[in-house]
Amino acid sequence: MPLIRRPLSDAERLDWLRLIRAENVGPITFFRLLDQYGSAGAALKALPELAKQGGKSKPLRVPAKAEVERELAACVRAGIRPLAACEPDYPVSLATVDDRPPLLFVLGHAHLLQRPAVAVIGARNASVNGRRFAHMLARELGDAGLVVVSGLARGIDAAAHDGAMAGGTVAVLAGGVDVIYPEDNDALYRRLIVEGVAISENPVGTQPQARHFPRRNRLISGLSLGVVVVEAALKSGSLITARFALEQGREVLAVPGSPLDPRCQGTNSLIREGATLIQSAADVLQVLTPLIRPGAREGTGEALMSRPLAPTPRLDEAELARARVLVLESLSPSPVPIDELVRGCQLSAAIVQTVVLELELAGRAERRPGNQVNLISIPGIESDG
């Protein structure tokens, strides 16, 4: 059912932030907790016992109210807006992604997040021609009414942001939304937060680390109708973004290049695997224009998200104890759909979901997009996630 889109109260925003900052709570787990307990406040009360039942011996780390109050106060001082997934200004396209961030931190013109968007990404060490093409492509896509999304990296990303500035551009950052990375994009960043918008799911002040970039890439694709890759090596982050796009049901488009240039091997490979070959903005628009829903430019489209449900009825403890054994025996490091887990264990969905939550919060299991779960630690060995 569609979520009722409404602003959070100040108290609810604190609860949402405490919940997503709690140990072993990722975006998918966050929304499952919200579904099961009806509110972030109720979920916070349930966390310690859930983690204990999942096998965690140490207390689950949950930030104190004062800690998240300081984080929100830092946002206010920097002009950063924490935007919750249930609020009307949350990006409509991103709201359909399984592991969407419960809270986005937004600096700049948030209204751009409601317009139809296309990602333009590529190599950091891009060629002169690659940068020139990305700049021209982004400018023409902006003129056609599309917002251009990219990652503020050197090379293709920077060229795309610069080209799209007049039409609207979104920078998705790996660190905090207030942290300029790389530093040589300082002038571009400062222009972008005045004329465009920058977003991140990480706390204010977070310095980007290698593990943050794949998480950022899924937001670049999730915000967009399609992803255009201009130049990319075979093992580049741009190909990770393209993979996320496919998983999220987005279009993947690629600019062909010389087989003698390593920076084009990734894009040529994408085309060989079925990506749409594009040579102009008109090619991109031919693919993406039919996907733009009526009203999308004005932000009137409705997102499909899970509605918080009434709290789950108390489950039988004897049945839960038996289920914990069966679910653990059935899980492995390879992801399995939870529906299959339910069928294989011959248990109710409510029981299995509860056991999976316990294991997640104990740091022993991980929920993945597509309603899948896998074991991430050996049963009986403590993990702090």
Residue 377's pLDDT is 53
Relative orientation angle of helices 186-195 and 156-164, to the nearest 10 degrees: 30
pLDDT for the residue 81: 97
Helix or strand (DSSP H, E) at 159 = helix 156-164
Identify the residue whose tokens are 């579904």: 35
Cβ atoms of residues 375 and 333 within 8 Å: yes
Whose tokens are 């790389």? That residue is 182
Cβ atoms within 10 Å of 46's Cβ, excluding its own: 17
User: Rounded to the nearest 5°, which phi and psi values hold at 56?
Assistant: -85, 125
Locus of tokens 């003129």: 143
Hey, how many other C-beta atoms are within 10 angstroms of the C-beta on 63? 18
140 residue type, one letter: E
**What does the DSSP 8-state code read for residue 303?**
P
User: What is the C-alpha separation between 261 and 267, in angstroms, rounded?
Assistant: 11
Q: What residue ranges of the chain have pLDDT lower than 70?
A: 1-4, 294-314, 377-385
At position 41, the amino acid (one-letter code) is G
Per-residue confidence (pLDDT) for residue 307, from 0 to 100: 41
In whole angstroms, give the CA distance from residue 54 to residue 364: 8
Edge-to-edge strand list for the sheet holding 336-337: 336-337, 372-375, 365-368
Amino acid 314: pLDDT: 63
Determine contact, residues 137/284, Cβ cutoff 8 Å: yes
pLDDT 10s digits, 211-230 = 999 999 999 999 999 999 99
Backbone angles phi, psi at 228, to 5 degrees: -105, 120
Give CA 116 to chain center in angstroms: 17
Tokens in use for 338? 């939870």
CA distances to 37, 41, 331, 365 from 54, in Å: 17, 20, 14, 9
Q: For helices 10-21 and 65-78, give the axis angle rounded to 10 degrees.
A: 110
Task: Quote the pLDDT of residue 313.
Answer: 54
Give the β-pairing of 147-150 and 169-172. parallel
Q: Please tell me what DSSP assigns to residue 204.
A: T
Q: What is d(CA 332, CA 348) in angstroms, rounded to the nearest whole number? A: 20
Q: What is the pTM of this model?
A: 0.90
Shortest CA distance to 222 belongs to which of 253, 248, 201, 252? Answer: 248
Query: Given strand 197-200, what is the order of strands in its sheet?
Result: 81-84, 103-108, 197-200, 169-172, 147-150, 117-121, 226-229, 251-254, 276-277
- Domains for the chain: give ranges and CATH numbers: 10-87 (no CATH), 109-298 (3.40.50.450), 317-375 (1.10.10.10)
Structure tokens at 372: 């899948």
Rounded to 5 degrees, what are φ and ψ at 109?
A: -90, 95
Task: Quote the CA–CA distance of 82 and 107 in Å, as a whole number.
Answer: 9
Find the helix or strand (DSSP H, E) in which 245 lies: helix 237-247
Q: How far apart are CA 68 and CA 16, in angstroms?
A: 10
